[in-house]
């Protein structure tokens, strides 16, 4: 580690994050510097640096098993990094627990439609409000969530486990949106979903981008959608960032070497 890097990390460690609700983290961006993380002694991410600017949609791309989901879990605090820093909204969150990150305005939709099957749609959504500030909690489930996913209004009293896979994914995204996060982490939200619901989810992501009030870090296997929606992209291969740029910069050679199966 260089002297400059050590000095930078010491300054980050001495900057305590301010306590803030989702509504107070307006325009918050994400910055990862020299991140290394993994499971036990197995290092998955190696020296990863990545930035999501306020209001920006960034796509994280790469083949299966290269560390994309590990990166998302590390950003959310589910995995502790071995080295490097995680800054959000200009504050250091490297050592903060997941609940602190959620209350600061980071919403997370994990891969695999992780809803509570024995709870109703309404109860699942109300759990999402736990990360919101007091004013949003008192207001209840915001109407804009049902505007984005009308089927959830129709199924408000049905259990999450009784919904189809696509409806569960809509519920998972909606649960992240009820607290009105300023940074949304989406881990392959269209994976294994029927085409009609894929289109609905794509429209929701497009509307989020159009509003420019929320930053998005998106993992998506559909190259056409990822390049059409992204302001910027990163390609991860074997735990290392191997390419980055605007979608217009993504070359056929990069697709062939790092994305093609």
Residue 110 sits at φ, ψ, to 5 deg, of: -75, 165
- 40 to 71, 79, 123, 170, 242: CA distances (angstroms): 15, 10, 35, 33, 24
Task: For the chain, list the domains and their CATH numbers.
Answer: 3-113+179-259 (3.40.50.300)
Whether residue 228 is predicted with pLDDT greater than 80 in this model: the reply is: yes
Contacts of 250 (CB under 8 A, 6+ apart): 227, 233, 243
Report the interhelical angle of 165-177 vs 195-211 (nearest 10°).
20
189 CB burial (10 A radius; 0-12, 13-18, 19+): buried
Residue 185 sits at φ, ψ, to 5 deg, of: -100, 120
Residue 165: CB atoms within 10 Å:
14
Q: What is the pLDDT of residue 2?
A: 41
Average pLDDT score over the chain: 88
- The SS3 call for residue 41 is coil
Mean pLDDT within 39-57: 95
Whether residue 173 is predicted with pLDDT greater than 80 in this model: the reply is: yes
pLDDT in tens, 89-129: 999 999 999 999 999 999 999 998 789 999 999 999 999 99
- Measured distance CA(185)–CA(106) in Å, rounded: 7
Structure tokens at 197: 């619901």
Whether residue 190 is predicted with pLDDT greater than 70 in this model: the reply is: yes
Whether residue 14 is predicted with pLDDT greater than 50 in this model: the reply is: no
pLDDT range class, residue 12, cuts 50, 70, 90: very low
Under 8 Å between Cβ of 20 and 89:
yes
pLDDT range class, residue 257, cuts 50, 70, 90: confident
Whether residue 25 is predicted with pLDDT greater than 60 in this model: the reply is: no
Per mean pLDDT, which range of 79-88, 106-115, 132-141, 244-253 is the poorest? 244-253
pLDDT range class, residue 163, cuts 50, 70, 90: very high
Give 212's DSSP letter: T
- Measured distance CA(141)–CA(152) in Å, rounded: 11
Contacts of 62 (CB under 8 A, 6+ apart): 68, 235, 236, 237, 258, 259
pLDDT in tens, 26-46: 446 999 999 999 998 899 999
pLDDT in tens, 118-162: 999 999 999 999 999 888 889 999 999 999 999 999 999 999 999
Q: What is the pLDDT of residue 249?
A: 81
Instruction: Check residues 49 and 20 and name the one with the higher pLDDT.
Output: 49
Q: What is the pLDDT of residue 29?
A: 92
Contacts of 66 (CB under 8 A, 6+ apart): 236, 237, 238, 239
- The SS3 call for residue 44 is strand
Report the interhelical angle of 165-177 vs 121-128 (nearest 10°).
30
pLDDT range class, residue 19, cuts 50, 70, 90: very low
Q: What is the pLDDT of residue 20?
A: 39
- 125 to 105, 244, 248: CA distances (angstroms): 16, 35, 37
Q: What is the pLDDT of residue 261?
A: 61
């Amino acid at each position: 580690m260089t002297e400059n890097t050590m000095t930078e990390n010491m300054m980050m460690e001495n900057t305590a994050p301010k306590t803030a609700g989702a509504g107070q983290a307006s325009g918050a961006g994400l910055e990862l510097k020299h991140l290394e993380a993994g499971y036990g002694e197995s290092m998955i991410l190696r020296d990863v640096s990545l930035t999501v600017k306020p209001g920006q949609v960034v796509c994280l791309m790469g083949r299966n098993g290269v560390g994309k989901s590990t990166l998302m879990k590390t950003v959310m605090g589910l995995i502790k990094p071995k080295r490097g820093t995680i800054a959000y909204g200009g504050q250091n969150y490297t050592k903060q627990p997941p609940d602190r990150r959620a209350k600061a305005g980071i919403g997370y939709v994990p891969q695999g439609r992780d809803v509570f099957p024995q709870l109703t749609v309404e109860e699942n959504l109300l759990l999402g409000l736990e990360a919101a500030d007091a004013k949003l909690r008192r207001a209840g489930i915001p109407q804009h969530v049902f505007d984005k996913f009308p089927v959830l209004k129709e199924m408000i009293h049905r259990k999450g486990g009784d919904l189809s896979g696509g409806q569960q994914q809509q519920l998972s995204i909606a649960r992240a949106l009820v607290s009105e996060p300023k940074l949304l982490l989406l881990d392959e939200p269209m994976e294994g979903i029927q085409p009609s619901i894929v289109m609905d989810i794509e429209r929701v992501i497009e509307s989020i981008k159009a509003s420019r009030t929320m930053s998005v870090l998106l993992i998506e296997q559909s190259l056409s959608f990822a390049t059409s929606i992204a302001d910027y992209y990163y390609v991860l291969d074997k735990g290392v960032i191997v390419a980055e740029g605007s979608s217009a910069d993504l070359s056929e050679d990069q697709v062939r070497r790092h994305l093609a199966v």
